[in-house]
Chain A
Amino acid sequence: MRLPLAIPVIAGSLALILSACGGSTPDGEGGSATSGTLRVVAGFYPLAYAAEQVGGDSVEVINLTPPGGEAHDLELSPQQVAEIGEADLVLYIPGFQPALDEAIAQVAPDRALNVTEALTLLPAEDHAHEGETSHEGEEPHADEHSTLDGDPHVWLNPLNMATIGDEIATRLTALNSSGAFAAGAQALTESMNALNEEWAQGTAECRSRDLVVSHEAFGYLAAQYDFAQIGIAGLSPDAEPSPARIAEVADLVRERGVTTIYYETLVDPSVAETLAAETGATTAILDPLEGLLEGSTGDYVTGMQANLAEVRAGQGCS
């Protein structure tokens, strides 16, 4: 395989061409290939976090989703499309952010990394077919630009984050072999293993293993730590929930003695509140970590630790 060696050459020359075209680009002179710093554009926060951990000071990471923005609904400004065009590596999950998929197809088809390629995906289940979850995770399609054939919320399992880090390291090393990317990936893997251990121990003994969430973002987390995810709305946070579904979940909550209904930081809590008022349960925030809140000083690890605390309290873990 000689192809990977060609990528830095193409990427470098493209960066030079593009920076030559855009005379107003502040760091246009020199270009990324010669300055030694690789430019990585990430679709949203967890991918940016992984790239920062792997790349350290040798990469400049740009996160396209603004703080407080909903990652699903990303809209790109012309400047951001230019940044994608100038990037050495673009990290994305196909189908998760349609605007980014389109931009990649237009300006960076050869420099994009579909971070789910090395992962085993869970099926994207329709909420109406709860209980038929026995089918095996399906392999992703080879076609990088098609929508993802499975649940996209892969980053909520720390071990997946470690795998994503390894993938990023492989690509970055191909771009610049002098970088210490393998060491960065190793450090990320260690911290993700520690986080996984913390979660596994923290959720080993719980009163309830039914995780009732406002939208089904927590499939990988639930699968990893032996919870059953019960989503009120489906995979997309915007869908209007049907009254019958709310009634069905309300019955389930009462029947199984669920005491906490989780909603997300960036999505309207009214569905969770309706269900909580219906059943006498309380609500709590579970952060899908698609983005950080404005002014947040935490990172992926502290976010997952905060989630662990919420789950331990809500599920009665000892």
Chain B
Amino acid sequence: MGMLGYDFMQRALIAAALIGLIAPLIGVFLVQRRLALLGDGMGHVALTGVGLAFLTGLAPVPTALVVAALGALVLELVRAKSRTAGDLALALVFYGGIAGGVMLTSLASGKASTALNQYLFGSLSTVATEDIAWLVGAGALVVIILLIFGREMFAMTLDPDVAHVQGIRTTRLGILLTVLAAVTVVIGMRTVGLLLVSAIMIVPVAAAQQFTGSFRATALVAVGLGLVCSLAGLTTSFTLDVPPGPTIVLLALAVFLVAAVTAYPVRRRRQRHPHPAEEHHHG
């Protein structure tokens, strides 16, 4: 029987396509803001949420969502208020998240900390119909927020100071963006796995940046690459009998490598003669 003859593969393909489309849309902003590791970080903050759920008897996944969103809020406040660099703020929240998760879980009636895994880590192989509903919900949220605030968010990621002077509320916008990313990561890790969602946010963007100049072009190319890598990777994984998550990520990295190598001469020429048409006016 062919790949499409199996219901679970149909669901896996839909989920792969959705994550391939949604994740790079968020990722292009994260890369611009130097928060490329946010996906992994928020995934680990979600551990604290599950630990808290064990301790209090709340439902694990919604608690993880709320705690990851709060973690994103703390991250933005640390960044904005204490003049801490983005990667440092991320590291603080990230490590706090892991330690909190393991500690809370061990306090909760002697559960092994690895009991966290089954609540948090999904796989494309086992996507359920309700998982697809969650992904569609996350995707709709991302698209709606980007349609409303995308232009301002672009201004903010490009230069927060200038954006601030132009009257854009950069702190609030930053919080919105990071919370959106956190929600996407938690839903993605639950349905398709943490490795896949956090990598597919970033790697296609890195590849697209190699040969695109504008933010908009990078975003569009990244989404295209994300979609193609997800579907091609899943198909490859089915053919070769290997797990889908790592296959997709390695394929995306291969695309990045090819893009970086082929675009290298182009970029070198650009760097030597930046914007030759403008040189007359300003030079």
Contact = CB atoms under 8 A, between A and B. Distances in A.
Interface of A: 65-70, 73-75, 128, 238-247, 250-251, 266-268, 270-271, 273-275, 277-278, 294
Contacts of A273: 126, 128
A161 B167 CA distance: 74
A240 B112 contact: no
B109 A70 contact: no
Interface string B104-131: 0000011111110110001111111000
B126 A251 contact: no
Contacts of A251: 1
A298 to B, nearest CB: 18
Nearest to B122: A270
Contact of A278 (B3, B7, B234): B7
Contacts of B243: 239-242
Which 9 residue pairs of A and B lie closest in terms of their CB atoms, listed nearest first?
Answer: A69-B112, A66-B110, A268-B118, A73-B114, A244-B241, A270-B126, A240-B243, A274-B126, A243-B238
B240 A241 contact: no
A291 to B, nearest CB: 9
21 contacts: A66-B110, A68-B109, A68-B110, A68-B112, A69-B110, A69-B112, A73-B113, A74-B112, A238-B117, A239-B243, A240-B243, A240-B245, A242-B125, A246-B8, A247-B3, A247-B6, A250-B6, A273-B126, A274-B127, A275-B8, A278-B7
Contacts of B193: 240
A247 B1 contact: yes
Contacts of A277: 7-8, 128
Given A243-B244, A250-B8, 20 more contacts: A69-B111, A74-B112, A75-B114, A240-B123, A240-B243, A240-B244, A240-B245, A243-B3, A243-B124, A243-B125, A243-B238, A244-B239, A247-B1, A247-B6, A247-B238, A270-B122, A274-B125, A277-B8, A277-B128, A278-B7
Contacts of A270: 122-123, 126, 128
Given A240-B243, A243-B234, A294-B109, A274 B1 contact: no
Interface residues of B, number: 34
Interface in B180-212: 193
B7 A271 contact: no
B161 to A, nearest CB: 44
A70 B244 CA distance: 25
B241 A75 contact: no
A236 B236 CA distance: 24
B237 interface: yes
B12 interface: yes
A68 B115 contact: yes
Contacts of B240: 244
A51 B237 CA distance: 46
Nearest to B234: A243
B48 to A, nearest CB: 18
Given A241-B126, A267-B118, A273-B126, A75 B238 contact: no
Interface string B239-281: 1111111000000000000000000000000000000000000
Given A243-B12, A247-B1, A247-B238, A70 B114 contact: yes
Given A244-B238, A247-B238, A294-B109, A70 B115 contact: yes
B9 interface: yes
B37 to A, nearest CB: 22
Contacts of B8: 243, 246, 250, 274-275, 277-278
Contacts of A266: 115
B61 to A, nearest CB: 13
B146 to A, nearest CB: 31
Given A247-B1, A247-B9, A270-B122, A242 B242 contact: yes
Given A251-B1, A274-B128, A278-B7, A242 B114 contact: no
B9 A243 contact: yes
Nearest to A294: B109
Given A274-B8, A278-B6, A278-B8, A242 B244 contact: yes
Contacts of B241: 128, 242, 244-245
B98 to A, nearest CB: 14
Contacts of A70: 112, 114-115
A70 B242 CA distance: 25
B112 A242 contact: no
A70 B118 CA distance: 11
Nearest to B109: A294
Most chain B C-beta atoms within 10 Å of own C-beta, residue among A239, A250, A267, A273: A250
Contacts of A246: 6, 8, 125
Contacts of B122: 270
A268 B123 CA distance: 11
A247 B118 CA distance: 22
